[in-house]
Amino acid sequence: MHRYLHYIDGRDAAPESQAWFDTHNPFTGEPWAEIAQGTAADADLAVQAAHRAFTSGAWPQLTATQRGELLRRVGDLIAREARRLAEIEVRDNGKLAEMRGQLNYIPQWFYYFGGLADKIEGRVIPLDKKGYFNFTLHEPLGVVAAITPWNSPLLLTAWKIAPALAAGCTVVIKPSEFTSASTLEFARLFEEAGFPPGVVNVVTGFGRDVGSALVEHPLVRKITLTGADSTGRSINEAAARHFKHVSLELGGKSPNIVFADANLDDAVNGAVAGIFAATGQTCIAGSRLLLLQDSIHDVFVERLLTLARSARMGDPMSADTQVGPITTRPQYEKVLSYIDTARNEGARLLLGGSAGTLPECGGGWFVEPTIFGEVDNGMRIAQEEVFGPVLSIIRFKDEEDALRIANDVRFGLGSGVWTADIGRAFRVSERLQAGTVWVNAYRAVSFMSPFGGYKDSGLGRENGAQAIHESLQTKSVWINTGAASANPFVMR
């Protein structure tokens, strides 16, 4: 089996513990590589390297334009390696179509933020005081720790590190223990592009060991996490003790609302894409389908079931597969246990509900596309994130009722609205408590548009021009151009 080491200061580095853990292929359930099991000592080496690279050597000497050139060059290398990187990701997380699409798109993050690197401009402030010239500088925070999940490892790494590097920070990446390999391969491309050693580092291992050591490390100035809300809470508490900056992209329980005036074919497609694409393992999964009572409910559900039944489960490496395995064994068990919970709560099982046992499911961790009807929004299946191919259908009476149900949840990440009424589209978009609203669409994202959560779905925004400011701090510079000296004991 291939053995993956940490990547620190431009070199492979064996774990201080000399311990390794297996990474598994979810299609077969078999291990395929060994990953270095990091400790606080490894995290410290990586942070020290990142701090050295931030404070001395070539990186801080580069102009912003030169930093941008490096980012664009790494974008080209990612484009060159997209196919190979996608295949490594799929060996770990079982989502080929999703990973191929993502890898082809990831270079854009490096082109876009590379282009922004030399457009970070301060302001001259016309003060209310004579005799001073005042302006602002935006300076990089320092070492950024990027902690990522298993569902879209490299896409979410790109969201974090492209703006951080454009801002002039250095990074230590801690990938999910379930999907470390692709990040280690990815990091080498920065070396090939010409980034100085120590600007991009990767330490693998578990959250409780490496993740928390990064969060507690005094030289880390910012932590950016995509992960579960429970992880976000504990990181936020630890970061607060050290006054560190945080960006948290956490879970969701997103409503996908279909009004009776919608184009039903499009809405059926959108409902299926919202929950079954990527086997429901996305933070923005449209896991609560809200349907207008009676007028369209039965006909919509019938069409939805027909389309969902046609989903082909199978080998994630095959281009024909539409629904692949669940990435990790614990997640597979969690999804099945939520299906039991929903049954016990009285939701009506309309489709699926079992582990996938077809021969084309290999020996892997499959769950059938599952749909529950007659779900009450108070049930756990409607309130908690399942992170799997499980859809809850909830009836509503009118627009007001739809908004009440949609917002009656502690998360606020994505949301969908299907309607032909432009007035309703605006009204509902304004009142949905979610970081993203899609109207007659679902699951579109871009490097150019801000992404993040309301409520328990997180803090801060990734993507879009403003994202670069999450890696910067503002300095106000006052030049005395002839201010009259006054009483030194009184504030001027």
- Which positions lie near ligand NAD, rule CB under 6 A? 147-151, 156, 174, 176-177, 206-208, 211-212, 215, 225-228, 231, 234-235, 249-252, 283, 385, 387, 413, 453, 458
CA atoms of 52 and 111, how far apart (whole Å): 26
Comparison of 105 and 206: residue with beta carbon closer to ligand NAD: 206
User: What secondary structure letter does DSSP report for 323?
Assistant: B
Closest distance to ligand NAD from the beta carbon of 476 (Å): 33
Cβ-in-10-Å burial (0-12, 13-18, 19+) of 269 comes to middle
CB of 205 to ligand NAD, least distance (A): 8
Cβ of residue 459: shortest distance to ligand NAD, in angstroms? 11
Strand order through the sheet with 143-147: 11-13, 6-8, 200-202, 170-174, 143-147, 220-226, 245-249, 458-459
Helix or strand run (H / E) with residue 464: none
Helix (H) / strand (E) element for 1: namely none
**52 versus 253: smaller Cβ distance to ligand NAD:** 253
Distance of alpha carbon 81 from alpha carbon 76, whole angstroms: 9
| 374 assigned to active site | no
Choose between 227 and 255: whose C-beta lies nearer to ligand NAD.
227
Q: Is 337 helix (H, G, I), strand (E, B) or coil?
A: helix
Which is closer to ligand NAD, CB of 68 or CB of 94?
Answer: 94
Which tokens hold the place of 350? 């309309």
Which of the following is catalytic: 185, 283, 368, 470? 283
Query: C-beta of 451: minimal distance to ligand NAD in Å?
Result: 7
| DSSP state letters, 68-136 | HHHHHHHHHHHHHHHHHHHHHHHHHH--HHHHHHHHHHTHHHHHHHHHHGGG----EE--SSTTEEEEE
Residue pair 439/259 in contact by the 8 Å Cβ criterion: no
- CB neighbours of 234 closer than 8 A, spacing ≥ 6? none
Rounded to a whole number of angstroms, the minimum distance from the CB of residue 178 to ligand NAD is: 7
At 184 the three-state DSSP class reads helix
Q: Is 462 part of the annotated catalytic residue set?
A: no
Of the two residues 293 and 337, which places its CB atom closer to ligand NAD in the complex?
Answer: 337
Comparing CA positions, the residue from 127, 114, 13 lying closest to residue 69 is 114
- Pick 187 or 268: Cβ nearer ligand NAD: 187
Residue 127 tokens read as 């003060």
- At its nearest, how many Å lie between ligand NAD and the CB of residue 286? 13
Residues annotated as catalytic are 249, 283
